[in-house]
Chain A
Amino acid sequence: MIWETVRLSLLSVRRNVLRSFLTLLGIVIGVAAVIAMLTIGSGTTEKVKADISKLGSNLLVIRPGRPAGPGGPGGLDQATRPLGSKELAALVAHLSGARAISPASQKQVRVIFGTESLTSGVTGTDSAYLDARDWKLDSGRPFSDSENRSGTGVCLIGETVRQQFFGAGDPEGEIIRVNRTSCKIIGLLEPKGYTGFGQDQDNVVLMPLAAYQRRIAGNRDIDSIYVAADDRTPTTELLPRVEDILRDARRIPPDREDDFSIRDMTQIADAMASATTTMTGMLGAVAGVSLLVGGIGIMNIMLVSVTERTREIGIRLAIGAHEKHILIQFLVEATVLSLLGGIIGILIGLTLAGLASLTLAIPFAPSPAVILLAVGFSALIGMVFGFFPALRGARLDPIDALRHE
């Protein structure tokens, strides 16, 4: 009986392909929008989380200059004191709960090998940097303590730099020129890919901080200090300790604000993830409205269908159909129609999300739960919005219905 009815309703969809399609457009667009939004949204969230974790997990980043906030713009101003070895030494000596503490100073510098050249992010740091940023070596070795101390001309290069200069070859032991100095490659960094902001994290050259300061920066400043928390210590606990030690090291009186900022990368990750979730939710709500419009479309077409087929309803009733038979027939028809729209919408939505993930370089993350929900929801729309027209059909008086022209 039900299959019979489903077959019947598919038949009536087929008899009026254009009208059925126009009717479905609302549902198709609504479902496609929801599916595309949610799929792209969850892809973006995944991407953002992955990007932030690439920076290193449980990481605090300390920079000179007032923190941005209600007090006005942060960052460097004339009076900002740079960070230096004094602060680094204080943290290393006094901070508990840290897995790694590492300084980093960075500059975009022209790097040359043979006739090839590349502008690369050259970073002066120490061997703790790899640990702090969860970065591993594909081959070679990190800086030794003596290289760190004396500022020997050695360096670690990223994948992009290797490809530019050596193709697939082994770069170890080769000498590259960095600005006016040269250094020997002692290791290759594991590839990290691009950040969400399109920055190539593999276009880097790491060298001992002392070497960088002396030969490239020409000063003894430290741009930033990375502090990675150990497994037992949440960054929220570590942050005030870092602040105390730095205020002490920089002799900031109690009535003065910090002249440095500490950024908690975990919190930034969470904030960004929740921002994209909120966005997704809002876009989902917009799509929901279009589904409502789609539902009204279904209701409209079902009312037309019931009116057009008044005589048919009369015949069926005369022949012995019960009210419920007619009700079910039109309800099934509305549901099949709307389900069909839902399925088309899901296919279009996934296609759009797939294209978006290709162009935006985010992961394609279709969620089976969301798809199932869309299927269920479009069926529900059919039932809800089909109910009133179906009831109207079922309640017709057979005599009036038979007389209908």
Chain B
Amino acid sequence: MSGSLLITFDKIWKSYGQGEATVHALAGVDLAIRSGEFVAIMGPSGSGKSTAMNIIGCLDTPTAGTYSFMGIDAGRLDRNRRAMLRNLYVGFVFQGYNLLPRTTAVENVELPLIYRGVAARERHDLAMKALAEVGLVGREHHTPAELSGGQQQRVAIARAIVTRPTLLVADEPTGNLDTARTHEIMELLTRLNTELGLTIAMVTHEADVAFYAGRTIRFLDGHVASDAVNLEVV
């Protein structure tokens, strides 16, 4: 608990639908995440985890309340400004990998750099370096169809970190992986957190995955039910 405040939710509401049918995915959530933290978000299905993650990652905006990202009132920015924030400061890892099909690993990793206007040569070098960082040397020119789930998720992580973001948003990153692969990916994320000082917000359903993080926030029906530091258990 050392870094500066990176993320603050101030009475965040996210509602869908109107009148009787209104669903409150988030109902007045307050939370704070500091730079360099690794936070796990847990909770039953439908409790609002993904909704919160989308707001944290500047993909979505709250219906009410203030979302402050790096001191910026990100909840009130327009589409293109949020796109810029994402491109500069946020990396995403999804449960379903979300790689472009029929596109090689290195081309997938280059993608965020294209929207930054990085020159082709440099883009390629950076992407190769990121793939090396996630341990995918020798697989650079394979397409997603030619890679295993664990390898695909490594490509996705490489794509997320190639821009050297401040924040990594991971929604159930190990949800599709077996136990061995899950722990490999979690070790990789932990290393990125400690070695690069990357702030990570991660949704998971599994307690042993959450345990890699330093802190766990539990959601229940759009509220924060609990927020506690993970105790080191030997």
Q: Assess whether A304 is interfacial by the CB under 8 Å rule.
A: no
Known: A315-B100, A402-B98. A320 touches B60 (CB 8 A): no
> A314, A320, A323, A398: which contacts B88 (Cβ < 8 A)?
A320
> A312, A315, A322: which contacts B83 (Cβ < 8 A)?
A322
Q: What is the interface residue range for chain A against chain B?
A: 20 to 34
A323 touches B116 (CB 8 A): no
A312 touches B100 (CB 8 A): yes
Q: Assess whether B112 is interfacial by the CB under 8 Å rule.
A: yes
A322 touches B86 (CB 8 A): no
Residues in B neighbouring A312, C-beta threshold 8 A: 100-101
Q: Assess whether A319 is interfacial by the CB under 8 Å rule.
A: yes
- Interchain nearest-CB distance for A133 vs B (Å): 69
Q: Assess whether B79 is interfacial by the CB under 8 Å rule.
A: yes
A320 touches B117 (CB 8 A): no
In the complex the two chains form, what is the Cα distance from A191 to B96 in whole Å? 80
* 15 intermolecular pairs with C-beta atoms under 8 Å apart: A315-B98, A315-B99, A316-B111, A317-B83, A318-B86, A319-B87, A319-B92, A320-B83, A320-B88, A320-B115, A321-B87, A322-B79, A322-B80, A323-B80, A324-B80
Closest residue of A by beta carbon distance from B51:
A399
A325 touches B100 (CB 8 A): no
Q: Assess whether A4 is interfacial by the CB under 8 Å rule.
A: yes
Residues in A neighbouring B159, C-beta threshold 8 A: 319
Residues in B neighbouring A94, C-beta threshold 8 A: none
In the complex the two chains form, what is the Cα distance from A320 to B162 in whole Å? 13
Closest residue of B by beta carbon distance from A325:
B115
Q: Assess whether B219 is interfacial by the CB under 8 Å rule.
A: no
Residues in B neighbouring A314, C-beta threshold 8 A: 98
Residues in A neighbouring B80, C-beta threshold 8 A: 322-324
> A1, A319, A322, A399: which contacts B60 (Cβ < 8 A)?
A399
- Interchain nearest-CB distance for B100 vs A (Å): 6
B102 touches A320 (CB 8 A): no
B83 touches A1 (CB 8 A): no
B100 touches A321 (CB 8 A): no
Q: Assess whether A241 is interfacial by the CB under 8 Å rule.
A: no
Hey, what's the 0/1 contact readout for B186-203 against A, CB within 8 Å counting as 1? 000000000000000000
Name, among A1, A311, A317, A320, the residue most crowded by chain B CB atoms within 10 Å (CB to CB). A320
Residues in A neighbouring B101, C-beta threshold 8 A: 312
In the complex the two chains form, what is the Cα distance from A1 to B115 in whole Å? 8
Q: How many residue pairs at the A-B interface have CB separations less than 8 Å?
A: 55
| Interface residues of A, Cβ cutoff 8 Å to B | 1, 4, 15, 311-312, 314-325, 398-399, 402
B87 touches A320 (CB 8 A): yes
B116 touches A320 (CB 8 A): yes
A319 touches B86 (CB 8 A): yes
Hey, what's the 0/1 contact readout for B167-195 against A, CB within 8 Å counting as 1? 00000000000000000000000000000
In the complex the two chains form, what is the Cα distance from A324 to B79 in whole Å? 11
- Interchain nearest-CB distance for B110 vs A (Å): 10
A321 touches B98 (CB 8 A): no
Residues in B neighbouring A319, C-beta threshold 8 A: 86-87, 92, 111-112, 115, 159
Q: Assess whether B94 is interfacial by the CB under 8 Å rule.
A: yes
Hey, what's the 0/1 contact readout for B74-92 against A, CB within 8 Å counting as 1? 0000011001101110001
Residues in B neighbouring A398, C-beta threshold 8 A: 59
- Interchain nearest-CB distance for A313 vs B (Å): 11
Supply 12 further A-B pairs (C-beta < 8 A) apart from A318-B86, A321-B115.
A311-B98, A312-B101, A317-B83, A319-B86, A319-B87, A319-B112, A320-B86, A320-B87, A322-B83, A322-B84, A322-B115, A323-B80
Residues in B neighbouring A15, C-beta threshold 8 A: 102
